[in-house]
């Protein structure tokens, strides 16, 4: 079967064996794959992993063959990103996302930029009626955004500042908005900030312009918001977050790629800040939000490519005016 493989010399189409089907597994015929920042970071060599690898972890498809009667061939599905061990402390205590033996699709084990993938049935989620394959690719990043809002919740009408106007920033903003918070979205990219405005956000701030924080300070008694989410993972994003969060407030960090060591422990102590991380989230909630139309994902898709055009799709995804690139298999 055809796969897009990342080797030492770059991305190339290749032939890989059809995956076997073990008891308890489902083989999925992949339909659509969304490119994520981690796919691009591995491809650019900014994030290390063992090569060769098949990238891609935000995907949807049909059940091709199944050892589980309830998952019949032809059922539209998406899947979680981690293969869990089921035996470690975390797996036994409902924290699969912290499994000490986990293998992550497209990051530490082969992912979905291929025609077929076999996965344990626990990783599979059926797409609800009305959710097509393109929307289905958003279940994973959306679940991750939901995890942030669950670990760092906002009260109704409370002001939340979100730093980062890319795809995950906009998804996270939509989640907090859907849960009743008042979102201030902060970024630099004028094109993406414009898209956020088109999606209905009225507090969209460009922090490369002088005085950008005035509106946010005015709305928060001059002390800044209690809750700031940084999805950028950059030193700059982190410093902006520290600059605007009020003393005693919470900083929710989202990106797994980027600047480490940008926060001084003494500042956390002096200002009595709380730091909250969140990694994976509940797919059920993500699919429910998509099915109820509470999150707009289609307008985040910049362009779709075929698997044969895979290398071009990765190149395209690095453009500044691109939010989401989909590869259809
Ligand atoms: Zn992702
Ligand atoms: Zn485990």
pLDDT tens for each residue of 155-177: 999 999 999 999 999 999 999 99
Residue 260: what pLDDT?
A: 67
2-138+297-328 and 146-277 have identical folds: no
Question: How many A from CA of 269 to the centre of ligand 1?
Answer: 32
Q: From the CA of 286, how far away is ligand 1's center (Å)?
A: 14
pLDDT computed for residue 287 by the predictor: 97
- Lowest-pLDDT choice from 3-12, 16-25, 194-203, 233-242: 233-242
Rounded to the nearest angstrom, the distance between the alpha carbon of 198 and the centre of ligand 2 is: 42
Instruction: State which CATH number among 3.40.50.720, 1.10.3720.10, 1.10.275.10, 3.40.50.300 fits the domain covering 146-277.
Output: 3.40.50.720
Query: Which fold, 2-138+297-328?
Result: Quinone Oxidoreductase; Chain A, domain 1 (3.90.180)
How far is residue 272's CA from residue 226's CA, in Å, rounded to a whole number?
12
> Does the structure show a pLDDT above 80 at 256?
no
Residue 184: closest CA among 240, 144, 142: 240
Could you tell me the distance, in angstroms and rounded to a whole number, from the CA of residue 93 to the centre of ligand 2? 9
Ligand showing the shortest atom-to-Cα distance for residue 90: 2
- For the chain, the structural domain boundaries read 2-138+297-328, 146-277
Residue 245's pLDDT is what? 97
- Reduce the secondary structure of the chain to three states and give it as a string: CEEEEEECCEEEEEECCCCCCCCCEEEEEEEEEECCHHHHHHHCCCCCCCCCEECCCEEEEEEEEECCCCCCCCCEEEECCEECCCCCHHHHCCCHHHCCCCEEECCCECCCCECEEEEEHHHEEECCCCCCHHHHCCHHHHHHHHHHHHHCCCCCCCEEEEECCCHHHHHHHHHHHHCCCEEEEEECCHHHHHHHHHCCCCCEEECCCCCCCHHHHHCCCCCCCCEEEECCCCHHHHHHHHHHCCCCCEEEECCCCCCCCCCCHHHHHHCCCEEEECCCCCHHHHHHHHHCCCCCCHHHEEEEEEHHHHHHHHHHHCCCCCCEEEEEC
Q: How far is the CA of 85 from the centre of ligand 2 (A)?
A: 4
% of the chain with per-residue pLDDT over 70: 98
Name the band, by pLDDT with cuts 50, 70 and 90, for residue 261: low
pLDDT attached to residue 233: 85
Cα of 37 to ligand 1 centre, how many Å?
Answer: 6
- The ligand that comes nearest to the alpha carbon of residue 36 is 1
pLDDT-derived band of residue 259, with 50, 70 and 90 as boundaries? low
Cα of 320 vs centre of ligand 2, distance in Å, is 38
Computed on alpha carbons and rounded to an integer, the radius of gyration of the chain in Å comes to 20
Confidence tier at 215 by pLDDT (50, 70, 90): very high
What's the pLDDT at 96?
Answer: 86
Ligand 2 centroid – CA 280 distance (Å) = 14
CA dihedral 214, 273, 173, 96 (to 10 degrees): 170
How far is the centre of ligand 1, averaged over its atoms, from the C-alpha of 56 (Å)?
Answer: 8
The ligand placed nearest to the CA atom of residue 35 is 1
Reference 6, options 222, 232, 314; nearest CA is 314
Mean model confidence pLDDT for the chain: 95
Distance (angstroms) between ligand 2 centre and the Cα of 92 equals: 7
Residue 257 confidence (pLDDT) above 90: no
CA distance 5 to 274: 41
CA distances from 245 to 36, 161, 265, 302 (A): 28, 9, 15, 32
Please answer whether residues 106 and 9 qualify as being in contact, where contact means their C-beta atoms are separated by less than 8 angstroms. no
* pLDDT more than 90, % of the chain: 91
pLDDT at 87: 95
Give me ligand 2 centre to Cα 104, in Å.
Answer: 12
CA of 28 to the centre of ligand 1 (A): 19
Ligand nearest the Cα of residue 80 is 1
Ligand minimally distant from the alpha carbon of residue 101 = 2
Cα 114 to averaged position of ligand 1 atoms, centre (Å): 16
Under the banding of pLDDT at 50, 70 and 90, the label for residue 263 is confident
pTM: 0.95
For the ranges 6-20, 72-86, 259-273, which has the lowest average pLDDT? 259-273
226 C-alpha vs ligand 1 centroid, how far in Å? 27
**Stretch 14-23: mean pLDDT, rounded?**
97
Between 197 and 261, the more confident residue is 197
Q: Are 185 and 205 in contact (CB under 8 A)?
A: yes
Ligand 1 centroid to residue 228 C-alpha, Å: 21
């Amino acid at each position: 079967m055809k796969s897009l493989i990342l080797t030492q010399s770059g991305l190339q189409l290749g032939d890989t064996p059809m995956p076997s089907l073990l008891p308890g597994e489902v083989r999925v015929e992949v339909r659509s794959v969304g490119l994520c920042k981690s796919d691009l970071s591995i491809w650019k060599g900014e994030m290390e992993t063992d090569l060769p690898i098949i990238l891609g972890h935000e995907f949807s498809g049909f059940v091709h063959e199944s050892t589980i009667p309830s998952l019949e061939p032809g059922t539209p599905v998406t899947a979680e990103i981690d293969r869990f061990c089921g035996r470690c402390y975390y797996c036994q205590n409902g924290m699969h996302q912290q499994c000490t033996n986990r293998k992550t699709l497209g990051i530490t084990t082969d992912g979905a930029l291929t025609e077929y993938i076999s996965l344990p049935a626990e990783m599979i989620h059926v797409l609800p009626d009305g959710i097509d394959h393109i929307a289905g690719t958003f279940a994973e990043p959306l679940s991750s955004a939901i995890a942030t809002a669950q670990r760092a919740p906002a009260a109704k009408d409370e002001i939340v500042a979100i730093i980062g106007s890319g795809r995950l920033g906009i998804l996270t903003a939509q989640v907090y908005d859907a849960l009743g918070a008042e979102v201030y979205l902060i970024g630099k990219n004028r094109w993406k900030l414009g898209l956020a405005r088109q999606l209905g956000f009225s507090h969209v701030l460009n922090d490369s312009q002088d005085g950008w924080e005035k509106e946010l300070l005015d709305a928060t008694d001059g002390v800044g918001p209690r809750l700031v989410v940084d999805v950028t993972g950059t030193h700059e994003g982190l410093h902006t977050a520290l600059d605007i969060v009020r003393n005693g407030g919470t900083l929710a960090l989202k990106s797994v790629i980027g600047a480490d060591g940008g926060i001084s422990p003494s500042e956390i102590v002096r200002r009595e800040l709380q730091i909250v991380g969140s990694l994976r989230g509940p797919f059920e909630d993500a699919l429910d939000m998509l099915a109820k139309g509470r999150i707009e994902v289609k307008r985040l898709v910049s362009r779709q490519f075929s698997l044969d055009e895979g290398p071009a799709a990765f190149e395209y995804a690095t453009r500044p005016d691109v939010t989401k690139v989909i590869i259809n298999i």
